[in-house]
Amino acid sequence: MEKIKMTTPLVEMDGDEMTRVLWGMIKETLILPYVDLKTEYYDLGLLSRNATKDQITVDAALATKRLGVAVKCATITPNKQRMEEYPELTEMWKSPNGTIRAILDGTAFRAPIVLPCIKPVVKNWEKPITIARHAYGDMYKAVDMTTEEPGTATLTFKGESGAEKTLTVQTVNGPAVWQGQHNLESSIRAFARSCFQYALSQKQDLWFSTKDTIAKVYDGEFKRIFEEEYESSCKAEFEKAGITYFYTLIDDAVARVIRSKGGFIWALKNYDGDVMSDMVAAAFGSLAMMTSVLVSPDGTMEFEASHGTVTRHYYRYLKGESTSTNPMATIFAWSGALKRRGELDSLPELVRFGERLEAASLKTLEDGIMTRDLLPLVEPGFQARGVDSGEFLEAIAARL
């Protein structure tokens, strides 16, 4: 066949360890034979980040801003142990995902890949639930203290103009514990815009929930800003796309989510998102089947797998053993990026290719061919055979 043409490149961020091995295999087996692939390549492997003093990560993020679409391989975030493992490291470089998120001012959306032979623990969830977690402020940038004697705590804001605002937090008659939190209007607004953008791109309803009945001012601001963004710039587009924006109290949302069929995006404040994303991920089954998209307020998107570099498998691979590492989330990162590139450049062939790549991957699993991590998750009675990563990719290619 003639290869599918691309007009604009997408940003390709290579990574580390087992996922870097899978990255090459996925391109070789599933993409390059069919797509005349155009990418701007950035090697975010740990040693390349070290050699460039992490400039390559910044460059990759800036290129993503310019080109609008990126696909990223999992990368090592160095810690103490890694500093010993790689003595050539000159610094304990920061998490690339953190750097990229800060530059793109983005929100991460996590969604599971679902299929009939692996049922979530919550039996009525038929479609994926995508969690959007606000990644700035609240408890995560709070100050805390304990006090021993009776007394009064106040909260004071000193403006640059010299104006002051003070509230009494509480008068206590014994030892107490205190916390001061904040968030930024600009960050909440960017979060809201990313959520509306992503809901439109996925044509899925957007839910948002806070505890504004109790935190009337604090959570009330979140609710107000979301409403303002929706009313002023998204309502018409939502109506055209046939999707809704739905605000409800967090307790009500939790109850509704459990009873729902899934198929929507759930936006949450920082702490709520931290807790709920782990719950939803666990109920859907496997980290290896979790995808992630970083979306900035202007609709720029960076696609990746949620899992890490699968270090344990990599060390077996280095010893020459074949591994059964699950490439699904990384394949879906590629298909997501190709579909988005196709949408932005009006290339229906490219969009269709992304869809077919996903369908062929799901069909392979439905035919009972899967990496071994999934075997314990399949429905009782379903006939499945565990294969290594290479065989699994060949089986997808045969269906593609």
**Residues lying near ligand NAP in the complex (CB under 6 A):** 74-77, 97, 287-288, 304, 307-312, 325-326, 373
Could you tell me the smallest distance in angstroms from the CB atom of residue 275 to Mg ion? 6
Q: Of 238 and 284, which CB lies nearer to ligand NAP in the complex structure?
A: 284
Nearest approach, Cβ of residue 176 and ligand NAP (Å): 38
Specify the residue, 134 or 193, whose C-beta has the smaller distance to Mg ion: 134
Binding site partner of 234, from Mg ion, ligand NAP, none, Cβ cut-off 5-8 A by kind = none
Look at residue 369 and give the partner it binds from ligand NAP, Mg ion, none, a contact being a CB closer than 5 to 8 Å depending on partner kind: none
Does 237 sit near Mg ion (CB under 5 A)?
Answer: no
Counting contacts by CB under 5 A, is residue 278 touching Mg ion?
Answer: yes
Q: Is the CB of residue 42 less than 8 Å from the CB of residue 13?
A: yes
* Rounded-to-integer distance, Cα 164 and Cα 154, Å: 12
Within 8 A by CB and 6+ apart from 30, the residues are 331, 334, 357, 393, 396, 397, 400
* Among the listed residues 40, 221, 227, 274, the single contact to Mg ion using CB under 5 A: 274
Instruction: Please report how close the Cβ of residue 261 comes to ligand NAP at its closest, in angstroms.
Output: 27
Which CB atom, from 263 or from 308, has the smaller least distance to ligand NAP?
Answer: 308
Q: Which is nearer to Mg ion, 185 or 278 (CB)?
A: 278
Residue 373's binding partner among ligand NAP, Mg ion, none (Cβ under 5 to 8 angstroms by kind) is ligand NAP
Terminal-to-terminal C-alpha distance of the chain:
13
What does 59 bind: Mg ion, ligand NAP, none (CB cut-off 5 to 8 Å by kind)?
none
Cβ-based nearer residue to ligand NAP, 296 or 309: 309
Q: Minimum distance between the CB of residue 276 and Mg ion, rounded to whole angstroms?
A: 9
Q: Give the burial string for 124-158 (b: 16+ CB within 10 Å, else e).
A: ebeebbbbbbbbbbbeeeeeeeeeeeeeeeeeeee
| Nearer to ligand NAP (CB atom), residue 325 or residue 335 | 325
Residue 389 binds: one of ligand NAP, Mg ion, none (C-beta under 5 to 8 A by kind): none
Residues in 254-273 that interact with Mg ion by CB under 5 A: none
**Nearest approach, Cβ of 133 to Mg ion (angstroms)?**
9
CB-nearer residue toward ligand NAP: 97 or 202 = 97
Query: C-beta of 48: minimal distance to ligand NAP in Å?
Result: 14
288 binds, among ligand NAP, Mg ion, none (CB under 5 to 8 A by kind): ligand NAP
97 binding partner (options Mg ion, ligand NAP, none; Cβ < 5 to 8 Å by kind) = ligand NAP
**Which residue lies nearest ligand NAP, judged by its C-beta?**
308
- Helical pair 17-26 and 328-344, crossing angle rounded to 10 deg: 50
| CA 155/CA 175 separation, integer angstroms | 18
Smaller CB separation from ligand NAP, 69 or 76: 76
Pick one of ligand NAP, Mg ion, none as the site partner of residue 229 (Cβ within 5 to 8 A by kind): none
Residue 316 beta carbon to ligand NAP: minimum distance, rounded to whole angstroms = 9
Closer of 113 and 350 to ligand NAP (Cβ)? 113
Query: How far, in Å, CA of 307 to CA of 373, rounded?
Result: 13
320 to each of 17, 26, 399, how far by Cα in Å? 14, 19, 28
Q: Which does 274 bind (CB under 5 to 8 A by kind): Mg ion, ligand NAP, none?
A: Mg ion
Of 122 and 287, the one with the shorter C-beta distance to ligand NAP is 287
Q: Which does 278 bind (CB under 5 to 8 A by kind): Mg ion, ligand NAP, none?
A: Mg ion
Interface ranges with Mg ion (CB under 5 A): 274, 278
